[in-house]
Structure formats: C-alpha cells, structure tokens
Structure 1
Amino acid sequence: MGQLRFRSVARERSSRPGALAERWTTVDGVKVLYRESAEPPSEPEPRVMMHLHGFGLSGRYLLPTAERLSSEFHTIVPDLPGFGRSGRARGLDVSDLARSAASLLDDRGIPSATLVGNSMGCPVICEFAHLYPERLERAVLVAPAGGLHNQPLTRAVGQLARDGVREPARLISVAVPDYLRFGVPSTVRMFRALTRYPSLERLLALRIPTLVVIGSLDPLMPTPARVGEVARQTDNHVVLVVIHGAAHAINFSHPGELANVIRRFMADEPILDDPESDGEARAYEIHRSPRVPAKGPDAGPAGA
C-alpha cells in the first residue's frame, strides 16, 4: 500500500463513556474513516486493539464492544476501504483488506496489535497473520465466516435471513444503510473473493494465542463440536468460547459478555461468565501455550 497521510479529525459521541473519536486518513488514494480512543488508556504504553467488521458492514456495529474495552486498550475501529463511509476501492479481496489494516496501523505509528474480527473480519485477520506475522500479537475471531459452510451465495443469503430475526431489532438501523451503500456488485465480488480464500489453511497456520467466540444461535456457523474439531487440528494456543443466546453479530448484541471474555483472554485468566451481562459464556480450552497455566489435563469447560 502507498504512504498514508493524516487528513482530518472529527468528533463523535464524545459525551459517552468510552466513546471513540471519528478520524479520516487516506490509504492508497482511498479516504478511510476510522474511530480511535478519544482518551488514551492510563497505562504508559497501552496494548493496541483493532476491531475489523464483517461482510458489507461498517465498523459502527462493533462499537458497543470496542467502547467497553477502550479504557484498557488503545482502540481503533475502521471502515475498511470499500465499506461503510470509507471511499470505494479498486481491489476488493481479503489480501487487500489485510494490507489496508496494516497501512492504517502504519499511519498511527503502531508496529503491532491484537486484532478482533467479526464474520468476514476473521479471514482478514488470518491473512494479516500470513502477511505480517511479526505484527499480530493475538487474534480474536468472533463468529468467523466465509468458509464452505457459507457457500454458495444463495445459502449465505438464507443464513443471513435467518440470522436477521435472531438479532436485536436496533441492529437494523445500523446494518441496512451499510448494506445499501455497499451495493450488489460489491457483494458479488467480495463473496467471490471469500470463496477463493484458503480460510482453513490460514486459520490452522496461526501461531499466536487465539480466541474463537461463537454464538449458540448463529445460523452462519457450523456446530460448536465442528468448530472444536477444526481447532484441534492445530497445536496453536486456542480457546473456544460459546456464548449461549447469541447469534452472529455478537459484538453488537452481547457486548458486555464479549468484552468480558476478551478482557480475560488478554490477561491470560480463566474464561468465566459475567453474570451482569446478557448471554452465558462457556469456554473450552483446546490448547494452551506453555506460558499459560492450563485448567487441567483435558480440554474441557473452563467457565460457568
């Protein structure tokens, strides 16, 4: 990607706790909107966390979770090129989006970060890890999509339709404008790119602490048993968490529980359910790295 230049700073929801400021920059001639921690966390050198959105959407629906973590992490939530309010992009594939994420970190002078993705954002994270392994500290894959379970396009559309009735009604006002702005031609091109992307190969190649979070009501995901079966094909440090009562857009529908799970994962703490938040989190530790104490000799439930 080309050199980035910072263009302007705007303000958004500055009165809300954890609110992120809207900012603009340019990635290879494309104007890109992103949201960033308005107030830096209290730590001298806070860890950086970038949240990456799903297919056809913008970063807006990720804000409920991102804002809950912004006091502990230097938080960035972009509309990737071609999505949301960012400008149209020439190329629209997974590699392009991963490079754009890296270029945005370059613009902010950030050498490495933890990436939190939802749906399509998860393949983007896997490609980021492939292209820039030294720049990815941890991966948080929330409802990863884009594999064989979501093909062909007609099947994916049907899954999205079933998911729509399981999500909070207030998501409509966020998602519909994003989908309309993204458009049918971009939808076809991006879906085609996702079907060609080696998602499973890249996922199994991850060599960093990885958290996989899925919802028990998500029609776009295989069963938790199948997800666990895939996770066991790698010796990477993987924690699988099922949030019962959640569907696909967990970052929007269950932000308190998801933020709690991410917070504990980042601190290498056992994943325990947050009784004050919607949903019930249950963790299954597939593999643990040597520096992270295991719960016991077998991979099993690690939380309530």
Structure 2
Amino acid sequence: MTPSSSAEPGPSGREPKRLPRHPASRLAERWTNVDGVDIFYRESPVPPDAPVMLHLHGFGLSGRYLLPTAERLMDDFHTFVPDLPGFGRSGKPAKALDVPDLAHAAARFLDDRGVETATLIGNSMGCPVILEFAHLYPERIDRAILVSPAGGLHNQPLSRAMSQLARDGKREPREMMAVATPDYLRFGVSSTVRMFHALTHYPSLDRLLELTIPTLAVLGSRDPLMPSPTRIQAVAAHTDNNVLLVVIEGAAHAINFSHPGELANIVRLFMADQPIVDDPDSPGHARAYEIHRGSLPPAPSGPE
C-alpha cells in the first residue's frame, strides 16, 4: 500500500492520533501498514546510490527526538526514522513487544520499504533492538551505531532507572522535554513497566560481544544512565571485535537531540573508516575522542 502524508488518514483508513505539533522536519512524514499495524515514519529523499540508514528511538519515545541528527545525515544516506509499533504515532500491536519482537518489527519495516540491508543507528533502547537485529538477521545489517546504549545492570532496579532518568532530564536541553513528555504520556505506566522488564532481561553484553560487523558506540560524559567510560573501556578491551568507542564531553543521554552536529560528524567519519576528530562547526564544549578501537577495517587508500 502506498504511504500517505501525515496530514491524511493512516493506511488503515483511521484518522491517526494527533500529537502536539513539533518543528517541521526536512524528512517527509509518511504512513504504512506492517502486519496489520499502522506505522508512522519519516523518510529522506533518496540521494543517488546512497546506503540506507535506519534510526531507532529509545524507551517510551518516538522518533521525533532523533530528527536533528537524522536531518544532518540525510544528504549522505537514504534515511528512515520510524516510530516502532506501540510507540509514538504508530499503532499498538495486539500484544506488548519485547526486544526480539521489536527487532523483528524493524526487519518487517525494511521489508515493507523494499530494503535488503542497512546500517542501524539507535539511542538508548534502540541499541538492544539493533543488537538483536544483528543476532537474528546478520546478513541484513552493514554496521551498528549504538548511541547511549541502555538496559543493563547499571539501570536496575526500576526505581534506580527512574532516578537516573530524572537526573538526566535536568541535563538535557529544555526543548527535549517538550518533545519527550507527550511521548512518555502516550506510552503509559503499564507499558513502561513491561518494557523495562524486557530490557533488563535482555542479554545485551552477550549480543555485543558476538558482533562481527563494524560497530560504533557513542557515550555522553554526563549521562547518568551509563556506566563510566572507564568501566565500558574495560569491558570493550575483553573483545577484539569491531568496536569503536567514542565519548562526547558534555553530552547526557539524548545525544541525537542535544549534540546532533557532533554525532553526525562522528557517524560520517566512522562510516568512511576515518579517524575520529572533533567537529569544528559544532561550537560548545563537546569533544569527541576515541577510547577503544577494535579490529575495524583499515581506512581506504583511494578509489579502486
């Protein structure tokens, strides 16, 4: 079925649920229907021969807060930013989805868009979804980009995670709350409890260590939901897989929203197998630097 504009009814013929207006995006807003669920997504124009990049959002949120980074990358990649089933403006499936279900949903969305392989970039909960996607569909993922991956022991129990989220909220730009609050309210308390249980029982570390594709992990130095970079570096050092770990100084959890210029710069360099350097066009105190590099492919020497 042909996707429609967000100003029109969704693919099922129902008028889609409205969220408060937000700044217009350079990405087109569209609808499709995957396995009987209305899916709202954003898509960039297709640059010639551009690889596909799929952006996956975090816990309780929609893809709206990912747009600042996605828009900066849309000229280099065929960009998709969906609201996963049960999140944001997309419809709710018959049963609550766990991490493997969301990975399957991401794959079915790519099927629906006619995409065979893609690079996946996620924030927070989107990172375990990417890890599971790579586990289930290793032939369909080119690279993995994990921004502020969450859901491990550092975020347990739920009361600790809620406290971390409260501290993080004070460190994010004020505009982030205007974007996040409607999403959290729509997601609801019961869905929050179920999704937290699914995340805390997901084997993120095991899945990370089994990756064989080039992988980028990006952390914020002021993120209360993440262990210290030193701890993560110690874990990463136990594997020689394709992991590049970068810290952005001054960033909290929602890096895709708060530091889009710096993050987009890092992503472009990673995708080109170039050394990570700071972005001179992103003013402020954010600074990116490598703290661990596994066996990434060598930088290309020139055109073949």
- Give me the TM-score of the superposition, normalised by structure 1: 0.90
| CA-CA distance at 1:276 after TM superposition | 2.0
Q: Which amino acid aligns with 2:34?
A: V
| CA-CA distance at 1:283 after TM superposition | 1.5
Q: 1:36 to 1:11 in 2, by over 3 A?
A: farther
Task: Count matched residues.
Answer: 284
Where in structure 2 are the equivalents of 1:260-279 lying within 5 Å? 260-277=265-282, 278=284, 279=286
The counterpart of 1:133, out of the listed 113, 135, 138, is 138
- Does the Cα contact within 8 Å between 1:11 and 1:21 map onto a contact in 2? no
State the alpha-carbon separation in 2 of the partners of residues 257 and 7 from structure 1.
Answer: 32
| CA-CA distance at 1:46 after TM superposition | 0.8
State the alpha-carbon separation in 1 of the partners of residues 218 and 227 from structure 2.
Answer: 12
- Does the Cα contact within 8 Å between 2:30 and 2:42 map onto a contact in 1? yes
Q: Which amino acid aligns with 2:42?
A: R
The counterpart of 1:287, out of the listed 286, 291, 294, is 294
State the alpha-carbon separation in 1 of the partners of residues 156 and 31 from structure 2.
Answer: 35
State the alpha-carbon separation in 2 of the partners of residues 230 and 169 from structure 1.
Answer: 33
| CA-CA distance at 1:289 after TM superposition | 2.9
The counterpart of 1:58, out of the listed 57, 62, 80, is 62
**Corresponding position: 1:72 with 2:76:** yes
Tell me which residue corresponds to 2:192.
187
- Does the Cα contact within 8 Å between 1:93 and 1:193 map onto a contact in 2? yes
Tell me which residue corresponds to 1:31.
38
- Does the Cα contact within 8 Å between 2:244 and 2:294 map onto a contact in 1? yes
State the alpha-carbon separation in 2 of the partners of residues 288 and 256 from structure 1.
Answer: 26
Q: Which amino acid aligns with 2:32?
A: T
**Corresponding position: 1:234 with 2:239:** yes
Q: Which amino acid aligns with 1:47?
A: P
**Corresponding position: 1:40 with 2:36:** no
Q: 1:78 to 1:290 in 2, by over 3 A?
A: closer
State the alpha-carbon separation in 2 of the partners of residues 47 and 119 from structure 1.
Answer: 23
Segment of structure 1 superposing worse, 156-165 or 278-287: 278-287
| CA-CA distance at 1:40 after TM superposition | 1.6
Q: Which amino acid aligns with 2:137?
A: Y
Segment of structure 1 superposing worse, 162-171 or 23-32: 23-32
State the alpha-carbon separation in 2 of the partners of residues 234 and 27 from structure 1.
Answer: 37
**Corresponding position: 1:9 with 2:5:** yes
Where in structure 2 are the equivalents of 1:103-122 lying within 5 Å? 103-122=108-127
| CA-CA distance at 1:284 after TM superposition | 2.4
Q: Which amino acid aligns with 1:250?
A: I
Tell me which residue corresponds to 1:299.
none
State the alpha-carbon separation in 2 of the partners of residues 134 and 6 from structure 1.
Answer: 27
State the alpha-carbon separation in 1 of the partners of residues 90 and 217 from structure 2.
Answer: 28
The counterpart of 1:163, out of the listed 152, 165, 168, is 168
| CA-CA distance at 1:286 after TM superposition | 2.4
Q: Which amino acid aligns with 2:60?
A: G
List gaps (5 residues or longer) in structure 1. Answer: 294-304
- Give me the TM-score of the superposition, normalised by structure 2: 0.90
- Does the Cα contact within 8 Å between 2:243 and 2:295 map onto a contact in 1? yes
Q: Secondary structure at the match of 1:96?
A: helix
State the alpha-carbon separation in 2 of the partners of residues 112 and 234 from structure 1.
Answer: 25
**Corresponding position: 1:20 with 2:27:** yes
State the alpha-carbon separation in 1 of the partners of residues 298 and 289 from structure 2.
Answer: 22
State the alpha-carbon separation in 1 of the partners of residues 246 and 296 from structure 2.
Answer: 17
| CA-CA distance at 1:28 after TM superposition | 1.6
State the alpha-carbon separation in 1 of the partners of residues 154 and 292 from structure 2.
Answer: 23
Tell me which residue corresponds to 1:124.
129
- Does the Cα contact within 8 Å between 1:228 and 1:286 map onto a contact in 2? no
Tell me which residue corresponds to 1:174.
179
Q: Secondary structure at the match of 1:8?
A: coil
Q: Percent identity?
A: 68
State the alpha-carbon separation in 2 of the partners of residues 176 and 59 from structure 1.
Answer: 13
| CA-CA distance at 1:115 after TM superposition | 0.3
- Does the Cα contact within 8 Å between 2:96 and 2:191 map onto a contact in 1? no
- Does the Cα contact within 8 Å between 1:119 and 1:144 map onto a contact in 2? yes
| CA-CA distance at 1:195 after TM superposition | 1.1
Q: Which amino acid aligns with 2:225?
A: L
State the alpha-carbon separation in 2 of the partners of residues 290 and 74 from structure 1.
Answer: 23
Tell me which residue corresponds to 2:14.
none
- Does the Cα contact within 8 Å between 1:58 and 1:79 map onto a contact in 2? yes
State the alpha-carbon separation in 2 of the partners of residues 206 and 54 from structure 1.
Answer: 21
Tell me which residue corresponds to 2:18.
none
State the alpha-carbon separation in 1 of the partners of residues 116 and 190 from structure 2.
Answer: 35
